[in-house]
Amino acid sequence: MDFITGKHISRRAMLKGMGATVGLPLLDAMVPAARPMAATAAGRAADSTRLVAIENVHGAAGCNDLGAELGLWAPKEEGKDFDLSLSSLKPLEPFRKHLTIVSDSDCRNADAFSPEEIGGDHFRTAAVFLTQAHPKQTQGSDVHAGTSFDQVYAKSIAGETPIPSMQLTIENVDQAGGCAYGYSCVYTDTISWASPTEPLPMIRDPRAVFEQMFGAGGTPEQRAERLATDRSILDWVMSEMSGLRRDLGAADRERLDRYTTNIRELEERIQRIEAQNSSGEERQIPEAPVGVPDDFAEHVKLMFDLQVLAFMSDTTRVFSFKIGRDASPRVYPESGSDTPFHAASHHGGREDRVRDFAKINEYHVSMIPYFLEKLQSVTEGDGTLLDKTMVMYGSAMADSNLHNHIRCPLFLVGGANGLVEGERHIRATPGTPMANVMLSLLQKMGVSDIERFGNSTGTFAI
């Protein structure tokens, strides 16, 4: 393959075999000779902003009056010189240059609008976070919320990636029947809505995510045969891989080897988890699929590693990720708290219990640097994946003890292709809808025809 003559590999090139489909990372061979990368399809794909929207339920300990006074979430200082040492955001200190904290915005569409809706805050909150729309109270199939932030962006780049977007979760979903307070379980089972009436299912099992990314093709028999063997999915595309590798330069071979090593190691981790969970030993989470680790941190890291691979191969550029579930009784001993999550969130405003809940908040935030480090380790074009990714993390609930939606937690981290300045703490004017922040972000990410989002009242100086 003579790339000096101008021949090149398509950015959409994939290796295929036995129903497996493996996308490729960005290679020099994808850029025609004597042409600047920015002027090529590969360069335009590399410069696209990747989006990861993460919901962590139940707000934060720093969102009640006492927590705000103690600086347990939002730092007391605004601007660049903020101090994270007392905050649950402390684990993000190494990435402060990429961090923008937005404090005090509201999600009032999660409020009860009528007496019948009182008590249903948990069900409304998850539905509101990314839609910023008030969900219809129903236990039937006539659910209604709004098109979510991630899906508005995904539609703006539709057709540019094999998978438009992916929706991941850590906790259980798809509970049977209605939930409570007259709300369908779908409102807590997802945070992504393709349209106001079309909630998107979330995937909890890393194996299912892996298969969707690399092995969903082929016949059911082919998929069953792949799963029944101990062979890597890469073995099924090895002949194409070998042919491609022979025609690549040294730098591209090194990139391809690093990428395939990451795929193989991730696949082996999933296989080890499945073997452990199939061994007959008692599980901490007996209801979980066999591919789901009992350990929270291991599960989250697997999901983040899958997202990095998806970005490397440009399989998709949009993820939503729900890392908690409303009213979950899960205990996070690694956080330093042995209180079940839901119970911890109802802290009664007592300082000792508020600080206990803050430990769990900090533990959840501590998962993010792992992802940021992995993104930073991948060079693509003239930058890293961290430079080109925006991670949005927050909740439509604020003070979980009161179930209110005023002064909600939200931060952005990642280079986002320069769309967000970074190293800033911005305190919103009281009464500012979080929808204003999302509207401004969508406009910055190129959704130029959007003038309103959810209950937005204008844009936000982000």
Asked if residue 462 is part of any domain, the answer here is no
User: Of 243, 260, 291, which residue constitutes the final position of a domain?
Assistant: 291
Residues 369 and 433 in one domain: yes
Residues in CB range of 115: below 8 A, 6 or more apart: none
CATH number at residue 184: 3.40.720
Asked if residue 456 is part of any domain, the answer here is no
Residues 287 and 304 in one domain: no
Asked if residue 309 is part of any domain, the answer here is yes
Alpha helices in 366-426 (DSSP H): 368-376
Give me the number of domains the chain comprises.
2
Asked if residue 273 is part of any domain, the answer here is yes
Name the residue type at position 252. Answer: D
Asked if residue 160 is part of any domain, the answer here is yes
C-alpha span between 403 and 424 (Å, rounded): 28
Residues 248 and 174 in one domain: no
Residues in CB range of 293: below 8 A, 6 or more apart: 206, 273, 299, 302
C-alpha span between 189 and 333 (Å, rounded): 25
Residues 165 and 280 in one domain: no
C-alpha span between 167 and 126 (Å, rounded): 14
Tokens of 150: 């991630």
pTM of the model: 0.93
User: Of 257, 276, 291, which residue constitutes the final position of a domain?
Assistant: 291
Residues 286 and 301 in one domain: no
Residues 167 and 224 in one domain: no
Residues 188 and 254 in one domain: no
Tokens of 393: 């993390």
Is residue 322 within 8 Å of 169, Cβ to Cβ?
yes
Helices 296-312 + 368-376 axis angle, to 10: 30
Residues 83 and 156 in one domain: yes
User: The domain containing residue 71 runs over which residues?
Assistant: 48-204+297-444
Asked if residue 320 is part of any domain, the answer here is yes
C-alpha span between 193 and 144 (Å, rounded): 9
Residues 3 and 22 in one domain: yes
Residues 52 and 77 in one domain: yes
Residues 337 and 357 in one domain: yes
Asked if residue 93 is part of any domain, the answer here is yes
- Tens digits of pLDDT across the chain (462 residues): 333 344 578 887 877 875 678 888 889 898 876 566 666 666 677 789 999 999 999 999 999 999 999 999 999 999 999 999 999 999 999 999 999 999 999 999 999 999 999 999 988 999 999 999 999 999 999 999 999 999 999 999 999 999 999 999 999 875 544 578 999 999 999 999 999 999 999 999 999 999 999 865 555 665 566 556 656 778 778 778 888 888 899 999 999 999 999 999 999 999 999 999 999 999 999 889 999 999 999 999 999 999 999 999 999 999 999 999 888 999 999 999 999 999 999 999 999 999 999 999 999 999 999 999 999 999 998 899 999 999 999 999 999 999 999 999 999 999 999 999 999 999 999 999 999 999 999 999 999 899 999 999 999 998
Residues 34 and 60 in one domain: no
Name the residue type at position 260. Answer: T
Can you name the residues that pair with 410 across neighbouring β-strands?
A: 394
Residue with tokens 């936000």: 460
Can you name the residues that pair with 321 across neighbouring β-strands?
A: 54, 168
Name the residue type at position 172. Answer: N
Asked if residue 213 is part of any domain, the answer here is no
Residue with tokens 């070998």: 242
